Amino acid sequence: MKWVKMLLVSKVGLIGVIIIILFTFTAIFAPLIVPHDPTEVNLGKSSLPPIWLDGGESTYLLGTDNLGRDVFSRIIYGSQISMLVGVCSVLVAGLIGIPVGLISGYYGGLVDSLLMRIVDSQIAIPSILLALVILGFMNPTLLTIIFVIGVSSWIAYARVVRSEVLSLKEREYVKAAKTMGVRHSFIMTRHLLPNVFSSIIVISTINVATSIITESSLSFLGLGPQSISWGSILSEGRDYLATNWWVATFPGIAITVTVLGIILFGDWLRDVLDPRTEV
């Protein structure tokens, strides 16, 4: 209840949550929403403009592409990939980054220097480039894409968790647990992890947004999952920009609005949870 109240006070957070709910809803109920089969080719209806322009047809809300496929239906289906990749790749990133940060911060010394050099070297390679290169030798399927985006974005977790652990481990209760001979793994998971939780939540939110953009970029470059995604619709629309501008325009708006909602929600979370470190 407290959270709901806090949300209602912040307009920005509320807008974010509404967008996220709409997005989730769309992804889950896509088959029920779409007016047309998104893959159905209908050359008789090709290159129809959006409904409000001359020549638009009532069931094709956002027009059709050069093969007569309904842009609106394709965008609705595209949300599934964005949602899936966005959320799952963040889980992968967290599963790598959080343990690295915990171990690095807790043990320090040589382990820490080694892990941090790995982090440094991954920073030196732009994450989209890393993803591209890995995808170069792995078949771009949904699973590999999730894995690749996760692998190229775990650094934020590792850095923030590490820096928080560094200060947490100086606290009395952690020191006391150490002197009492509590197992290291227990200290890390029961004492340290819960205390970095709010930072993890904030990073995860932002990471979902970045992952959605990364996925759409990969799809745009032709290295996405071989199903309908916002990036691939956009990429197909690119060649028809001069004639069928709507094909490339609307999926971009869908990405922007979704990412915007997640960023707004993330900003609000940061204010509410107030973790000390900014990513």
CB of residue 32 to another protein, shortest distance in Å: 27
Residue 249 or 277: which CB sits closer to another protein? 249
CB of residue 261 to another protein, shortest distance in Å: 9
CB of residue 15 to another protein, shortest distance in Å: 10
CB of residue 234 to another protein, shortest distance in Å: 6
* Positive or negative: CA dihedral 4, 7, 13, 18: positive
Q: Do 12 and 263 contact (CB within 8 A), yes or no?
A: no
CB count within 10 Å of CB 125 equals 12
Backbone angles phi, psi at 228, to 5 degrees: -65, 120
Q: Do 231 and 224 contact (CB within 8 A), yes or no?
A: yes
Residue 41 or 151: which CB sits closer to another protein? 151
Residue 87 or 128: which CB sits closer to another protein? 128
Residue 187 or 275: which CB sits closer to another protein? 275
Which residue in this structure is represented by tokens 């047309």? 36
Partnered with residue 64 across adjacent β-strands are 70
CB of residue 270 to another protein, shortest distance in Å: 12
Say how far apart CA 50 and CA 58 lie, in whole Å: 9
* Positive or negative: CA dihedral 185, 187, 191, 196: negative
* Binding region for another protein (CB under 8 A): 117-118, 120-129, 132-137, 209, 213, 216-217, 220-223, 231, 234, 238, 241-242, 245, 248-249, 251-252, 255-257, 259-260, 263-264, 267
Residue 31 or 222: which CB sits closer to another protein? 222
